[in-house]
Structure 1
Amino acid sequence: MELRQLRTNDAEDYFSLRLEALQQSPDAFATTYEEEKNQTAAKYKERFTDPVNSFTFGAFEENELVGVVTLFREPLIKLNHRATIVAMYIKPEKRGSGLGKILIYKAIEKAKSLEGVEQIYLSVVSTNIPAIKLYTTCGFSIYAKEKRALKVDNTYYDEEHMVLYLVNN
Protein backbone atom coordinates (compact mmCIF):
# COMPACT_ATOMS: atom_id res chain seq x y z
CA MET A 1 0.00 0.00 0.00
CA GLU A 2 1.36 3.37 -1.03
CA LEU A 3 -0.03 6.52 0.58
CA ARG A 4 0.93 9.90 -0.82
CA GLN A 5 -0.22 13.33 -1.85
CA LEU A 6 -1.64 13.29 -5.36
CA ARG A 7 0.24 14.97 -8.20
CA THR A 8 -0.88 16.29 -11.56
CA ASN A 9 -0.22 12.95 -13.26
CA ASP A 10 -2.76 11.35 -10.87
CA ALA A 11 -5.62 13.59 -12.06
CA GLU A 12 -7.13 11.08 -14.51
CA ASP A 13 -7.17 8.30 -11.90
CA TYR A 14 -8.63 10.68 -9.33
CA PHE A 15 -11.34 11.87 -11.71
CA SER A 16 -12.29 8.27 -12.49
CA LEU A 17 -12.49 7.40 -8.78
CA ARG A 18 -14.46 10.59 -8.13
CA LEU A 19 -17.07 9.57 -10.72
CA GLU A 20 -17.25 6.11 -9.15
CA ALA A 21 -17.78 7.69 -5.72
CA LEU A 22 -20.62 9.86 -6.98
CA GLN A 23 -22.32 6.82 -8.53
CA GLN A 24 -21.70 4.44 -5.61
CA SER A 25 -22.58 6.90 -2.82
CA PRO A 26 -24.79 9.64 -4.26
CA ASP A 27 -26.10 10.65 -0.84
CA ALA A 28 -22.59 11.21 0.56
CA PHE A 29 -21.57 14.13 -1.65
CA ALA A 30 -23.06 17.53 -2.46
CA THR A 31 -21.99 17.15 -6.10
CA THR A 32 -23.91 14.75 -8.34
CA TYR A 33 -22.56 12.39 -10.96
CA GLU A 34 -24.57 14.31 -13.60
CA GLU A 35 -22.84 17.57 -12.61
CA GLU A 36 -19.38 16.05 -12.57
CA LYS A 37 -19.38 13.66 -15.55
CA ASN A 38 -18.96 16.45 -18.11
CA GLN A 39 -15.97 17.94 -16.29
CA THR A 40 -12.42 16.95 -17.09
CA ALA A 41 -9.43 15.88 -15.05
CA ALA A 42 -7.86 19.28 -15.81
CA LYS A 43 -9.58 20.91 -12.84
CA TYR A 44 -7.94 18.35 -10.56
CA LYS A 45 -4.55 18.82 -12.21
CA GLU A 46 -4.82 22.48 -11.28
CA ARG A 47 -5.97 21.69 -7.74
CA PHE A 48 -3.08 19.27 -7.24
CA THR A 49 -0.59 22.07 -7.96
CA ASP A 50 -1.84 24.27 -5.08
CA PRO A 51 0.94 24.10 -2.48
CA VAL A 52 -0.85 26.25 0.11
CA ASN A 53 -4.57 25.51 0.51
CA SER A 54 -5.45 22.15 -1.08
CA PHE A 55 -4.00 18.72 -0.33
CA THR A 56 -5.42 15.49 -1.72
CA PHE A 57 -4.03 12.20 -0.49
CA GLY A 58 -4.46 8.89 -2.22
CA ALA A 59 -4.00 5.28 -1.25
CA PHE A 60 -2.68 3.03 -4.00
CA GLU A 61 -2.72 -0.74 -4.09
CA GLU A 62 -0.76 -2.27 -6.96
CA ASN A 63 -0.76 1.16 -8.68
CA GLU A 64 -4.57 1.43 -8.44
CA LEU A 65 -6.06 4.40 -6.59
CA VAL A 66 -8.38 2.82 -4.00
CA GLY A 67 -9.02 5.65 -1.55
CA VAL A 68 -8.79 9.44 -1.32
CA VAL A 69 -9.29 12.35 1.04
CA THR A 70 -8.85 16.09 0.53
CA LEU A 71 -7.88 18.73 3.09
CA PHE A 72 -8.64 22.37 2.27
CA ARG A 73 -7.20 25.22 4.26
CA GLU A 74 -9.43 28.28 4.46
CA PRO A 75 -7.65 31.07 2.53
CA LEU A 76 -9.44 34.06 4.12
CA ILE A 77 -7.45 35.70 6.91
CA LYS A 78 -10.22 35.42 9.50
CA LEU A 79 -10.77 31.74 8.67
CA ASN A 80 -7.14 30.76 8.07
CA HIS A 81 -6.98 28.89 11.38
CA ARG A 82 -9.43 26.35 9.93
CA ALA A 83 -9.16 23.44 7.52
CA THR A 84 -11.87 21.19 6.13
CA ILE A 85 -11.82 17.54 5.11
CA VAL A 86 -13.89 16.77 1.99
CA ALA A 87 -14.27 14.17 -0.75
CA MET A 88 -13.40 11.16 1.40
CA TYR A 89 -13.96 7.93 -0.51
CA ILE A 90 -12.79 4.33 -0.22
CA LYS A 91 -13.60 1.72 -2.84
CA PRO A 92 -16.32 -0.55 -1.39
CA GLU A 93 -14.13 -3.66 -1.46
CA LYS A 94 -11.48 -1.85 0.66
CA ARG A 95 -13.84 -0.55 3.35
CA GLY A 96 -13.32 -1.94 6.83
CA SER A 97 -9.63 -2.52 6.16
CA GLY A 98 -8.37 0.45 8.19
CA LEU A 99 -7.63 2.46 5.06
CA GLY A 100 -10.08 5.21 6.00
CA LYS A 101 -8.35 5.76 9.32
CA ILE A 102 -4.96 5.90 7.61
CA LEU A 103 -6.22 8.55 5.16
CA ILE A 104 -7.89 10.65 7.87
CA TYR A 105 -4.75 10.55 10.02
CA LYS A 106 -2.72 11.63 6.98
CA ALA A 107 -5.02 14.65 6.52
CA ILE A 108 -4.80 15.46 10.25
CA GLU A 109 -1.01 15.18 10.12
CA LYS A 110 -0.93 17.59 7.19
CA ALA A 111 -3.22 20.05 8.97
CA LYS A 112 -0.95 19.97 12.03
CA SER A 113 2.02 20.82 9.79
CA LEU A 114 0.31 23.95 8.43
CA GLU A 115 1.27 26.93 10.54
CA GLY A 116 -1.72 28.46 12.27
CA VAL A 117 -4.26 25.70 11.60
CA GLU A 118 -6.08 25.07 14.88
CA GLN A 119 -9.16 23.07 13.90
CA ILE A 120 -10.43 20.72 11.22
CA TYR A 121 -14.05 20.46 10.11
CA LEU A 122 -15.99 17.89 8.12
CA SER A 123 -19.60 17.01 7.37
CA VAL A 124 -21.07 13.54 7.05
CA VAL A 125 -24.55 12.27 6.20
CA SER A 126 -26.26 11.22 9.44
CA THR A 127 -27.12 7.77 8.10
CA ASN A 128 -23.45 6.95 7.36
CA ILE A 129 -22.80 5.35 10.74
CA PRO A 130 -19.47 3.70 9.74
CA ALA A 131 -18.06 7.09 8.68
CA ILE A 132 -19.28 8.80 11.85
CA LYS A 133 -17.63 6.04 13.91
CA LEU A 134 -14.40 6.45 11.92
CA TYR A 135 -14.29 10.21 12.43
CA THR A 136 -15.14 9.89 16.12
CA THR A 137 -12.37 7.32 16.55
CA CYS A 138 -9.97 9.79 14.94
CA GLY A 139 -10.90 12.47 17.50
CA PHE A 140 -13.69 14.41 15.79
CA SER A 141 -16.83 15.34 17.69
CA ILE A 142 -20.26 16.37 16.46
CA TYR A 143 -21.08 20.02 17.10
CA ALA A 144 -24.24 20.41 15.00
CA LYS A 145 -26.83 18.52 13.01
CA GLU A 146 -28.21 20.11 9.86
CA LYS A 147 -31.67 18.84 9.01
CA ARG A 148 -32.42 18.23 5.33
CA ALA A 149 -28.92 19.30 4.30
CA LEU A 150 -28.96 17.33 1.05
CA LYS A 151 -31.82 16.39 -1.26
CA VAL A 152 -31.34 13.45 -3.59
CA ASP A 153 -34.35 13.07 -5.86
CA ASN A 154 -37.17 13.46 -3.33
CA THR A 155 -35.27 12.18 -0.30
CA TYR A 156 -33.68 14.48 2.27
CA TYR A 157 -30.53 13.65 4.21
CA ASP A 158 -29.39 15.24 7.45
CA GLU A 159 -25.71 15.98 8.01
CA GLU A 160 -23.61 15.85 11.14
CA HIS A 161 -21.04 18.63 11.32
CA MET A 162 -17.89 17.55 13.13
CA VAL A 163 -14.76 19.28 14.39
CA LEU A 164 -11.35 18.27 15.67
CA TYR A 165 -9.53 20.92 17.71
CA LEU A 166 -5.76 20.73 17.29
CA VAL A 167 -5.09 23.41 19.88
CA ASN A 168 -6.59 23.34 23.37
CA ASN A 169 -8.29 26.52 24.49
Structure 2
Amino acid sequence: MWIRKLQVEDAESYWRLRLDALRRYPQAFGADYEDAKHTPIEEVRGRIADGTDNFILGAFADTGAIVGMVGFRREPYRKMRHKGMVWGMYVDPASQGQGAGRRLMEELMARAREMPGLEHIGLYVVDTNRSAKSLYLSLGFVTYGVERNAMKLDEGTYVHEELMVRFLERRSPNELT
Protein backbone atom coordinates (compact mmCIF):
# COMPACT_ATOMS: atom_id res chain seq x y z
CA MET A 1 0.00 0.00 0.00
CA TRP A 2 1.23 3.50 -0.74
CA ILE A 3 -0.01 7.03 -0.02
CA ARG A 4 0.14 9.96 -2.41
CA LYS A 5 -1.56 13.22 -3.25
CA LEU A 6 -4.37 12.68 -5.72
CA GLN A 7 -3.96 13.97 -9.25
CA VAL A 8 -6.67 15.07 -11.68
CA GLU A 9 -6.34 11.66 -13.39
CA ASP A 10 -7.58 10.04 -10.14
CA ALA A 11 -10.88 11.90 -10.18
CA GLU A 12 -13.15 9.06 -11.30
CA SER A 13 -11.76 6.42 -8.92
CA TYR A 14 -11.63 8.92 -6.05
CA TRP A 15 -15.23 9.98 -6.68
CA ARG A 16 -16.45 6.36 -6.72
CA LEU A 17 -14.79 5.83 -3.32
CA ARG A 18 -16.19 9.11 -1.97
CA LEU A 19 -19.73 8.21 -3.07
CA ASP A 20 -19.33 4.76 -1.52
CA ALA A 21 -18.35 6.41 1.77
CA LEU A 22 -21.35 8.75 1.70
CA ARG A 23 -23.72 5.90 0.86
CA ARG A 24 -22.37 3.42 3.46
CA TYR A 25 -21.88 5.85 6.34
CA PRO A 26 -24.30 8.80 6.01
CA GLN A 27 -23.88 9.60 9.71
CA ALA A 28 -20.13 10.15 9.32
CA PHE A 29 -20.09 12.89 6.66
CA GLY A 30 -21.66 16.31 6.34
CA ALA A 31 -22.09 15.78 2.60
CA ASP A 32 -25.10 13.76 1.47
CA TYR A 33 -24.96 10.92 -1.08
CA GLU A 34 -28.16 12.01 -2.86
CA ASP A 35 -26.74 15.50 -3.43
CA ALA A 36 -23.19 14.39 -4.19
CA LYS A 37 -24.04 11.73 -6.78
CA HIS A 38 -25.09 14.47 -9.21
CA THR A 39 -21.77 16.33 -8.96
CA PRO A 40 -20.17 16.70 -12.41
CA ILE A 41 -16.78 15.00 -12.69
CA GLU A 42 -15.29 18.30 -13.91
CA GLU A 43 -16.12 19.81 -10.50
CA VAL A 44 -14.40 16.88 -8.79
CA ARG A 45 -11.32 17.40 -10.97
CA GLY A 46 -11.30 21.06 -9.93
CA ARG A 47 -11.34 20.10 -6.25
CA ILE A 48 -8.40 17.77 -6.72
CA ALA A 49 -6.36 20.42 -8.57
CA ASP A 50 -7.01 23.02 -5.87
CA GLY A 51 -3.38 23.70 -4.86
CA THR A 52 -0.91 23.25 -2.05
CA ASP A 53 -2.99 24.58 0.87
CA ASN A 54 -5.80 22.17 0.01
CA PHE A 55 -5.18 18.60 -0.98
CA ILE A 56 -6.64 15.12 -1.02
CA LEU A 57 -4.49 12.10 -0.26
CA GLY A 58 -5.23 8.60 -1.47
CA ALA A 59 -4.21 5.21 -0.11
CA PHE A 60 -3.57 2.77 -2.94
CA ALA A 61 -3.45 -1.03 -2.81
CA ASP A 62 -0.71 -2.95 -4.60
CA THR A 63 -3.20 -3.45 -7.44
CA GLY A 64 -3.32 0.33 -7.93
CA ALA A 65 -6.90 0.63 -6.66
CA ILE A 66 -7.68 3.52 -4.33
CA VAL A 67 -8.78 2.12 -0.96
CA GLY A 68 -8.67 5.18 1.29
CA MET A 69 -8.74 8.96 1.24
CA VAL A 70 -8.47 12.03 3.40
CA GLY A 71 -8.72 15.72 2.60
CA PHE A 72 -7.00 18.78 4.08
CA ARG A 73 -8.09 22.38 3.84
CA ARG A 74 -6.18 25.38 5.18
CA GLU A 75 -8.19 28.38 6.25
CA PRO A 76 -7.93 31.06 3.55
CA TYR A 77 -8.32 34.21 5.67
CA ARG A 78 -5.22 35.96 6.99
CA LYS A 79 -6.31 35.84 10.64
CA MET A 80 -7.10 32.14 10.39
CA ARG A 81 -4.28 30.79 8.20
CA HIS A 82 -2.65 29.24 11.23
CA LYS A 83 -5.41 26.58 11.17
CA GLY A 84 -6.13 23.63 8.93
CA MET A 85 -8.96 21.10 8.80
CA VAL A 86 -9.13 17.38 8.08
CA TRP A 87 -12.17 16.28 6.09
CA GLY A 88 -13.51 13.23 4.28
CA MET A 89 -11.44 10.54 6.00
CA TYR A 90 -12.49 7.09 4.75
CA VAL A 91 -11.00 3.67 4.22
CA ASP A 92 -12.89 1.02 2.25
CA PRO A 93 -14.22 -1.65 4.66
CA ALA A 94 -12.21 -4.40 2.94
CA SER A 95 -8.99 -2.46 3.65
CA GLN A 96 -9.73 -1.36 7.20
CA GLY A 97 -7.43 -2.62 9.94
CA GLN A 98 -4.38 -2.64 7.66
CA GLY A 99 -2.95 0.74 8.65
CA ALA A 100 -4.26 2.80 5.73
CA GLY A 101 -6.02 5.32 7.97
CA ARG A 102 -2.94 5.85 10.12
CA ARG A 103 -0.70 6.22 7.09
CA LEU A 104 -3.08 8.71 5.49
CA MET A 105 -3.16 10.82 8.65
CA GLU A 106 0.61 10.64 9.17
CA GLU A 107 1.19 11.84 5.60
CA LEU A 108 -1.40 14.60 6.04
CA MET A 109 0.31 15.80 9.22
CA ALA A 110 3.77 15.64 7.60
CA ARG A 111 2.56 17.81 4.73
CA ALA A 112 0.84 20.19 7.16
CA ARG A 113 4.06 20.63 9.18
CA GLU A 114 5.78 21.87 6.00
CA MET A 115 3.29 24.73 5.60
CA PRO A 116 4.78 27.95 6.95
CA GLY A 117 2.71 29.42 9.77
CA LEU A 118 0.35 26.47 10.18
CA GLU A 119 -0.04 25.81 13.91
CA HIS A 120 -2.84 23.33 14.33
CA ILE A 121 -5.11 20.86 12.60
CA GLY A 122 -8.74 20.38 13.53
CA LEU A 123 -11.28 17.71 12.71
CA TYR A 124 -14.79 16.57 13.56
CA VAL A 125 -15.58 12.94 14.31
CA VAL A 126 -18.92 11.31 15.06
CA ASP A 127 -18.94 10.61 18.78
CA THR A 128 -19.89 6.95 18.26
CA ASN A 129 -17.02 6.21 15.84
CA ARG A 130 -14.67 4.54 18.32
CA SER A 131 -12.08 3.34 15.82
CA ALA A 132 -11.63 6.79 14.25
CA LYS A 133 -11.46 8.49 17.66
CA SER A 134 -8.90 5.94 18.82
CA LEU A 135 -6.75 6.64 15.74
CA TYR A 136 -6.94 10.40 16.19
CA LEU A 137 -6.14 10.19 19.92
CA SER A 138 -3.12 7.98 19.18
CA LEU A 139 -1.86 10.66 16.77
CA GLY A 140 -2.00 13.37 19.43
CA PHE A 141 -5.42 14.91 18.76
CA VAL A 142 -7.46 15.93 21.80
CA THR A 143 -11.17 16.55 22.15
CA TYR A 144 -12.03 20.12 23.07
CA GLY A 145 -15.80 20.01 22.70
CA VAL A 146 -18.87 18.20 21.47
CA GLU A 147 -21.39 19.61 19.04
CA ARG A 148 -24.70 18.02 19.92
CA ASN A 149 -27.11 17.53 17.02
CA ALA A 150 -24.33 18.44 14.56
CA MET A 151 -26.18 16.65 11.76
CA LYS A 152 -29.76 15.55 11.25
CA LEU A 153 -30.23 12.48 9.07
CA ASP A 154 -33.25 12.03 6.84
CA GLU A 155 -35.05 9.79 9.31
CA GLY A 156 -34.82 12.49 11.99
CA THR A 157 -31.89 10.95 13.87
CA TYR A 158 -29.33 13.41 15.22
CA VAL A 159 -25.59 12.81 15.13
CA HIS A 160 -23.22 14.39 17.64
CA GLU A 161 -19.63 15.23 16.71
CA GLU A 162 -16.51 15.57 18.82
CA LEU A 163 -14.31 18.53 17.93
CA MET A 164 -10.64 17.57 18.03
CA VAL A 165 -7.40 19.46 17.53
CA ARG A 166 -3.72 18.64 17.15
CA PHE A 167 -1.16 21.39 17.67
CA LEU A 168 1.90 21.04 15.46
CA GLU A 169 4.28 22.78 17.85
CA ARG A 170 4.82 22.32 21.56
CA ARG A 171 2.43 24.65 23.37
CA SER A 172 2.48 26.07 26.89
CA PRO A 173 1.09 23.81 29.66
CA ASN A 174 -2.10 25.89 29.77
CA GLU A 175 -3.00 25.10 26.15
CA LEU A 176 -4.32 21.92 24.56
CA THR A 177 -1.56 19.53 23.50
The bucket for the TM-score relative to the shorter chain is over 0.9
The Cα of 1:40 is off from its aligned counterpart by 1.9
Partner deviation per Cα, 1:86-130 (whole Å, 9 max, x = no partner):
000000111111111000111101110111100000000001011
* 1:137 partner letter: S
Instruction: Compute the displacement of 1:47 (Å).
Output: 1.8
Correspondence for 1:8: 8
- Higher alpha-carbon deviation: 35-44 or 74-83: 35-44
Q: Find the aligned partners of 1:53 and 1:35 in 2 and give their Cα distance.
A: 26
- TM-score of the superposed pair, with normalisation by structure 1: 0.97
* Aligned-residue identity in percent: 38
CA RMSD of aligned residues (A): 0.9
Structure 1 alignment gaps of length 5 or more: none
Counterpart residue identity of residue 30, structure 1 = G
Which 4+ residue blocks in structure 1 deviate beyond 6 angstroms? Answer: none
Query: How much does 1:9 deviate?
Result: 0.4
Q: How does 1:17-32 map to 2 (within 5 A)?
A: 17-32=17-32
Amino acid at match of 1:78: K
Paired position in structure 2 for 1:156: 158
The worse-fitting range, judged by mean Cα deviation, of 41-50 and 139-148 is 41-50
Structure 2: which 5+ runs fail to align?
Answer: 172-177
The aligned counterpart of 1:104 is 105
Q: Which whole-Å CA distance do the structure 2 matches of 1:33 and 1:148 have between them?
A: 19
Counterpart of 1:37, as a letter, is K
Q: Aligned equivalents of 2:32 and 2:44: distance in 1?
A: 17
| Structure 1 partner of 2:64 | 63
Q: TM-score with structure 2 length normalisation?
A: 0.93
State the distance in 1 between where 2:84 and 2:143 align.
16
Could you tell me which residue of structure 1 aligns to residue 114 of structure 2?
113
SS at match of 2:30: coil
Q: Residue 167 of structure 2 aligns with which residue? A: 165
Residue 36 of structure 2 is aligned to residue 39 of structure 1: no
Q: CA deviation at 1:51?
A: 2.0
Q: CA deviation at 1:63?
A: 1.2
